[in-house]
Structure 1
Amino acid sequence: MVTSSDTPFEVYVVEDDDAVLKSLGALMEAHGYGATLCRTAEDFLKSFDPARRACLVLDLRLPGMSGMQLQARLAEMGVDIPIVVVTAHGDVPIAVQAMRAGAIDFIEKPTEAERLLEAVAAARATLENRAPPEVPRQVIADRLARLTEREQEVLHHLLHGKLNKEIAAELGISQRTIEVHRARIREKMQARGIADLIRMLG
């Protein structure tokens, strides 16, 4: 059996330059991290495992969905992952926007290995410092029992990665109502977001 302590901290790298992508992946693995390499935001969303301890090294300029759009999508999904933004010099104002939206650091290209490793270490520390203690199974069961039937339906869809608008369409109710249900689920389950719920129920 592989425990969380046996599993390396995962670094997702989203970068459309193949040479840079491979270089950053090799750097992470050389320092004991797991590395998942993605050329696009869409590739990241397909490969992302919210149950893993991880951070995201994110280039802002990507083909298709941009880095900022991916950050917004993750926020909408309730995914709590530390993000380190990598940006070209001319994109610093955009990087500042990303920081205001919750990214923990930004690094200008060309990326210095030591600077990036420091940022990843800080991301890991940030995640571990805010990680909740393990909740006993009986406590989780008691919290689940407090959910209404509709809240349980919404929770089921959330755990399968669906967005508010998708859940609303499926259940035939408004997005605002879904937001209310999400808030009540978080309150009753004592969870800060979908990542906490996945850790409890995964």
Structure 2
Amino acid sequence: MKKIKILIIEDDAEISRLTAMYLEVEGFESKIVDDGEKALATIKHYLPDLIILDLMLPGMTGIEICKQSRAFYQGPILVLTACDDDVSEVSLLKLGADDFLTKPLKPHVLVARIEALMRRSKPNMPIDVHTGHSKIHIDQASQQVIFEEKELILTSSEYEMLVLLERNIGNIVSRADCCQALRGINYDFNDRSIDMRISGLRKKLNDDHMPYKIITTVRNKGYMLFNG
């Protein structure tokens, strides 16, 4: 199956690196451009299926890139904005953007937006079907979680943690990735709050006594959602 190609136009090296890493874990192909002047040429050469575009860039602003690229690029553009950017949602849509997210990014929200945009723009393009935990059902639209046919009442941070673990079911999720889901993509991961959130999830999943059967701890590596 052909991978969906995503062009990340972002001058913050750490944000772009972490975004690309997370997208590639999710099965996307990605490329990074860190300068507005190079962006238009890269769009023409790389032919991405979707563009993630930061507004504040050196060389040429994201607004100009969005306007000029629409002369030749028809794919979806997902704009990244800071909370204090003086650009409204209506203005972004009029300039040619299809959707926008504010920083700091939450990885599972980013992936959900990308999948929604791809379904709208290329309804016949196959997108990998995610197979989740047999006893856990997550409705990302309503953020409702059902476990063993009962609704779980989770905090927002517990929900974000569970989504990350469930999307990577059977694979180890590092503490760094957990922190990105918990606090945003640009977060320093030296924090014991991760253990608190995992402990809270285990209690609500009736898995708070060793040996853990649902969320396992992989020593010195991270956590894994086990579908046993």
Normalising by structure 2, report the TM-score: 0.50
Match of 2:79 among 80, 85, 89: 85
Consecutive unaligned residues in structure 2, runs of 5 or more: 126-228
Q: What residue in structure 2 maps to residue 105 of structure 1?
A: 99
Q: What residue in structure 1 maps to residue 21 of structure 2?
A: 26
| One-letter amino acid matched to 1:23 | L
List per-residue Cα deviations over 1:35-60 (Å, max 9, x = no partner). 01110223222322478461000000
Matched-pair identity in %:
24
Consecutive unaligned residues in structure 1, runs of 5 or more: 1-5, 132-202
What's the CA shift for 1:15?
Answer: 0.6
Give the SS at the match of 2:41.
Answer: helix
CA distance in 1, matches of 2:18, 2:53: 14
Give the SS at the match of 1:37.
Answer: strand
Distance 1:87 1:22, change over 3 A: same
Per chain length, whose mean CA-contact separation is higher, i.e. which structure has more relative contact order (CA < 8 Å, sep 6+)? 1
Give the SS at the match of 1:89.
Answer: coil
* RMSD (Å), alpha carbons: 2.1
Greater Rg over alpha carbons, structure? 2
What's the CA shift for 1:123?
Answer: 1.8
Match of 2:38 among 38, 43, 51: 43
Q: What residue in structure 1 maps to residue 114 of structure 2?
A: 120
Q: What residue in structure 2 maps to residue 15 of structure 1?
A: 10
Q: What residue in structure 1 maps to residue 136 of structure 2?
A: none
Higher helix content, 1 or 2: 1
List per-residue Cα deviations over 1:109-143 (Å, max 9, x = no partner). 10111111111111211221388xxxxxxxxxxxx
Whether contact under 8 Å (1:87, 1:95) holds in the other structure is no
CA distance in 1, matches of 2:20, 2:97: 20
Q: What residue in structure 1 maps to residue 51 of structure 2?
A: 56
Equivalenced residues, count: 125
Give the SS at the match of 1:129.
Answer: coil
Higher strand content, 1 or 2: 2
